[in-house]
Amino acid sequence: MPDILSLNINKLLYEKKYSELIELLESSNNIRKFFIIGEILLNSGNIEKAQENFEKAQCMWAVGYCKFLNAKLGEAKAILNEYAFSSSFSDWILKLINVINDNYSNPPTYFQIRNFYEQDLEMLYLYKRYSFINKIISKSKYFGNFNMEIYKYNGRFLYNHNYNEDAVKFLKKSLDIYYKDPETHFILGGIYEKSKDKESAIKSYKKSIEVNGEYYPALKRIKELEENII
């Protein structure tokens, strides 16, 4: 049976009430609190305090990740090498560091790319490691050898940060490989909407439905656009 503290922690996490959560955790003697506080701080942009809490939690792979995000690649590798065999995430970050350093001797897996690629681009963006992002995205062909969805991942990331022209290139490349992906058509529709091209947006949303007749986001957006609910 879960204890009251755990229930309250999970409730505040779900509700994203982070300041209340940190206050609750700081009154606890559970070592788990340091890891949770570290995660909150890391995702809030406070990497130094995050690393301090991961160290208190004795979670060294997370410390290694902080080193990576802080562009201390040598220090990150020294820590993460100890966890590569037991942690797919640690192994993935080591592979990402290798790509940044033009080392392709240890290729990633399909599932590592699927599970971690976009989230790490987002974290690198949060910490303004733009040179790392550019290098990683420029190696799409390499990553595509192991997971062809990489073009959609790049397009979605770029779209989310308003790099629409580059996003379109990757999304169209993705459709060349797998035309029947409704989400890719849907994201393209969103880009056309941003550029005030309502007709092209509706066409893209309709293509989403052509390849997947039950793709609800496209059905909903077409209805809104046709009713001029922008």
Q: What is the 3-state secondary structure (H, E, C) of the chain?
A: CCCHHHHHHHHHHHHCCHHHHHHHHHCCCCCHHHHHHHHHHHHCCCHHHHHHHHHHCCCHHHHHHHHHHCCCHHHHHHHHCCCCCCCHHHHHHHHHHHHHCCCCCCCCCHHHHHHHHHHHHHHHHHCCCHHHHHHHHHCHHHHHCCCCCHHHHHHHHHHHCCCHHHHHHHHHHHHHHCCCCHHHHHHHHHHHHHCCCHHHHHHHHHHHHHHCCCCHHHHHHHHHHHCCCC
**CA distances to 42, 108, 177 from 9, in Å:** 18, 34, 43
The rounded percent of the chain whose pLDDT value lies above 70 is: 89
| Sign of the dihedral defined by the CA atoms of residues 87, 93, 95, 101, in that order | negative
Range of the domain at 209: 150-230
Domain assignment of residue 156, yes or no:
yes
pTM: 0.87
Summarize pLDDT for 96-136 with one digit per residue, the tens. 999 999 999 999 999 999 999 999 999 999 999 999 999 99
Q: Per residue in 55-91, is it b (16+ CB within 10 Å) or e — as a string? A: eebebebbbbbbbbbeeebeebbebbeebbeeebbbb
Domain annotation covers residue 92 = no
How many structural domains does the chain have? Answer: 1
How high does pLDDT run on average in the chain?
Answer: 90
Instruction: Report yes or no on 210 lying in a domain.
Output: yes
Residues 51 and 59: beta-carbon distance below 8 Å: no
Packed helices 47-56 and 32-43: angle between N→C axes, nearest 10 degrees: 170
Residue 194 falls inside a structural domain: yes
pLDDT digit string (tens) for 36-95?
889 889 998 999 999 999 999 999 999 999 999 999 999 999 999 999 999 999 999 999
Look at residue 206 and tell me if it is in a domain.
Answer: yes
CATH number of domain containing 162 = 1.25.40.10
Is 69 within a domain? no
Asked whether residue 110 is domain-assigned, the answer is no
Token output for 161: 């940060």
Assess if residue 91 is contained within a domain: no
What confidence score (pLDDT) does residue 2 get? 46
Q: Measuring CA to CA, which residue among 210, 222, 220 is closest to residue 181?
A: 210
- Alpha-carbon gap, residue 104 to 110, rounded angstroms: 15
Residue 101, pLDDT score: 97
d(CA 25, CA 153): 35
